Structure 1
């Protein structure tokens, strides 16, 4: 065999290997595309579909083979060119992000998607467009159903001449505790209830922010008006705008005239919980509403005047949220005309016995028990615990323990939930890590301070002296950590 033939054979062998690798990659890409829970479609410059995964076919009720290699509008006669985000992105040559699209499939099924579409460039030449579509049909229908139910409830109460505060249960008398820390914030909240200024409540999870919000509403001149609460973290951002401001018929395909939560709270109070979870762009629109005292429904051109007091809640220090780009600084100054800090349970542990008695009485009634108290060991464990879940965590610990008793009248350590006991074990390990001899009759306060100093030093060193991150890792506010650093002379 000549060298030239050998060279040709080597080249052919290399080409076969490259082809095999290319086929494997193609199979891998097709498998990945068809395993995604979002629809993927790509058209070329002639508007012919060249990629169409199985999820997109499922969303649109089409057969993949009937769409691939064909003009987009020919396979989807129900779609107009001006309504197609793919064709629009191709013509404009720029991305279209988070565009809501509603259309009727060939099977007469209403589908609502949120699409992100981007043009594709190769060697600086426009060659096509890629679209990623997320099905939100069920979420949108559920949101619309919730709004309709709220409107029907409001209409029924008005027809029966029932006064509204509906959807509120708590007043300041429901906020129990005798500590100076808690009394101070209750007095402050009661004072600001008299005005219509916006209020920002910040406190850790489980401290009772909504309880304070409802109490402020029920102590205000707006108590006969509605109290509407919305958790900004519980709803997808592409739905939140329509739910807050409402929608106008014709504003987008399939849109109906629906008032949002601002209109539903007219004359009353709107609670925006976890405000730092709201998209930054939507925060800008909220800022405009607070400045102008009017809203514009999505898709509408007219303004609607509003008379609503906004109470917002956040589970982190607002200045930390601003620093981490979770909250606009200008919005904070509009929301936080009055800012109230709801203290964590570890800052008013003297209230623990009061909460224990309250929850025991509550669950004695619902569980038909006769629990009198908790054991001294349990009470001591409660005092030592750091309570990352605050009063809600204490409530769950009591409720869980009472579900495990038989005929006893005293809650013991073995009744406590397993996860809570596990957390106590972590505290016990910290005692050993701090080299504390628990057999010596040293005062409890000295043990606690030793542990605090050890943990604060470890967190401070790990964060390279960054107070914000050290406080976050310890579950403290920045101000409280600074106080403890000064108290223990650690800085």
Structure 2
């Protein structure tokens, strides 16, 4: 019985789904197959490459030659080769290729290339080297006179006395990295390196090699290269958005922290390291543990010192101070002479909930000053359009007819949680153990919330 499906289309579908680039040219060097992964790696549309000569589409300069063309001409397999070249838009691409000829009846009729993308890894390494040459921030540059900010600054300063792990929790834009660098600069490690890496920015298959380093031959294209732990030896390693790491990688990270030794990917040799670990999260770690985004045992290791950075909406008394700071910053950058903000514009800044926190406020001030000419005061008309529309009388009437004082659900629930915890604490004479039992949560969970809400203990 004849099959009622097209095997050729099935094979083609599989080749487009695999996680390696596949490029096949005929004996003239014209592309006859180019899978989707290869198109993504080379930032091309498949139509730009198919049925065209490879040397008309890609540029190989200096000592670089197309391994695909070489294999086609020599009839030899090239083996694993690192190759850097330009696409037709001038973008640099770096891959690890293995090319080989395809023969039929003893004649070379085509050549195929299987490629792995290392462009991103090369870029990440370069960016880390550039970004981590200098450390900028100290506690003097943290702006805030509110009680909540003074408290967390004081706690952070105390953390400079030791090399214990620090977990910094706060929403996006609250300044977590600023606190991390300030702790490093205030510690005995200040003369050592400060290395930072956003864990969410790197694919999992690259992250392990980036963290722990690689040994030549460990995988295709691997070279002897120190990882971030070795680069940070004697200093501080900041891992931003630690809950973005996979569970398996979190387990390996835990082992490194416990043993203070690393083993490069593909190596058998263990290397001693002396690194202080600072991590950040933009969510409640207990929720992250519950939803398996953070290992509980790793959390205990990372949270020896825990800092909770308050969102801007909970310290609005700092808005005038921050506004003056950003005005001064952009006066210098734009060669302007703005010296104030009008009461109407200031009122909008106080009314806005600032989901993007201090970073959003900075962008709002920068945007306002971009709209000014010779004025010395930021007026209502200078604020970015979304803020003006959101809080204009017309804008309010169009916003679902909700009362102006309505708050986001998350913020309202947090207020209710805080008030209830305060009530239960008072009923139990501020005995944390008894209060936790009444609330039906662990003592540690209650301690965490007391710190989060800056409640009396």
Give me the TM-score of the superposition, normalised by structure 2. 0.69
Q: Cα gap change, 1:283/1:427 in structure 2, threshold over 3 Å: closer, same or farther?
A: farther
What is the match of residue 173 of structure 1? 140
- Of 76, 81, 91, 1:104 maps to 81
Q: Residue 35 of structure 2: SS of its match in structure 1?
A: helix
Alpha-carbon distance between aligned partners in 2 of 1:213 and 1:257, rounded to the nearest angstrom: 30
Alpha-carbon distance between aligned partners in 1 of 2:33 and 2:291, rounded to the nearest angstrom: 37
State yes or no: 1:184 paired with 2:151. Answer: yes
Alpha-carbon distance between aligned partners in 2 of 1:214 and 1:228, rounded to the nearest angstrom: 9
What are the superposed Cα offsets for residues 46-85 of structure 1, whole Å, 9 maximum, x if unpaired? xxxxxx9632896999x99xxxxxxxxxx98456xxxxxx
Q: Cα gap change, 1:373/1:485 in structure 2, threshold over 3 Å: closer, same or farther?
A: farther
Alpha-carbon distance between aligned partners in 2 of 1:348 and 1:106, rounded to the nearest angstrom: 52
What is the match of residue 178 of structure 2? 211
CA RMSD of aligned residues (A): 3.9
State yes or no: 1:138 paired with 2:119. Answer: yes
What are the superposed Cα offsets for residues 198-218 of structure 1, whole Å, 9 maximum, x if unpaired? 000000001000100011011
Q: Which runs of 5+ in 2 are unaligned?
A: 23-31, 43-49, 52-74, 86-92, 98-113, 424-457
What is the match of residue 428 of structure 1? 396
Alpha-carbon distance between aligned partners in 2 of 1:260 and 1:39, rounded to the nearest angstrom: 24
State yes or no: 1:401 paired with 2:378. Answer: no
Give me the TM-score of the superposition, normalised by structure 1. 0.65
C-alpha contact 1:248 1:255 (8 A) present in aligned 2: yes
What are the superposed Cα offsets for residues 20-56 of structure 1, whole Å, 9 maximum, x if unpaired? xx56xx7876775676695589xxxxxxxxxx96328
What are the superposed Cα offsets for residues 366-403 of structure 1, whole Å, 9 maximum, x if unpaired? 11111121111111111111000001000000000001
Alpha-carbon distance between aligned partners in 1 of 2:154 and 2:163, rounded to the nearest angstrom: 17
What are the superposed Cα offsets for residues 144-187 of structure 1, whole Å, 9 maximum, x if unpaired? 5456x56xx99xxxxxxxxxxx5211110101111111000000
Superposition deviation, residue 259 in structure 1: 0.8
State yes or no: 1:55 paired with 2:35. Answer: yes
Superposition deviation, residue 427 in structure 1: 8.3
Q: Residue 295 of structure 1: SS of its match in structure 2?
A: strand
Q: Residue 170 of structure 1: SS of its match in structure 2?
A: coil
Q: Which runs of 5+ in 1 are unaligned?
A: 1-14, 42-51, 65-74, 80-102, 114-132, 155-165, 437-446, 457-470
- Of 321, 330, 338, 1:363 maps to 330
C-alpha contact 1:111 1:137 (8 A) present in aligned 2: yes
Question: Which protein is bigger by CA-based radius of gyration?
Answer: 1
The aligned runs of 1:436-455 (5 Å cut-off) are 436=403, 448=405, 451-452=406-407
Superposition deviation, residue 220 in structure 1: 0.6
What is the match of residue 160 of structure 1? none
- Of 383, 395, 411, 1:416 maps to 383
What is the match of residue 257 of structure 2? 290
Alpha-carbon distance between aligned partners in 1 of 2:178 and 2:167, rounded to the nearest angstrom: 14
Alpha-carbon distance between aligned partners in 1 of 2:241 and 2:194, rounded to the nearest angstrom: 17
Alpha-carbon distance between aligned partners in 1 of 2:84 and 2:173, rounded to the nearest angstrom: 47
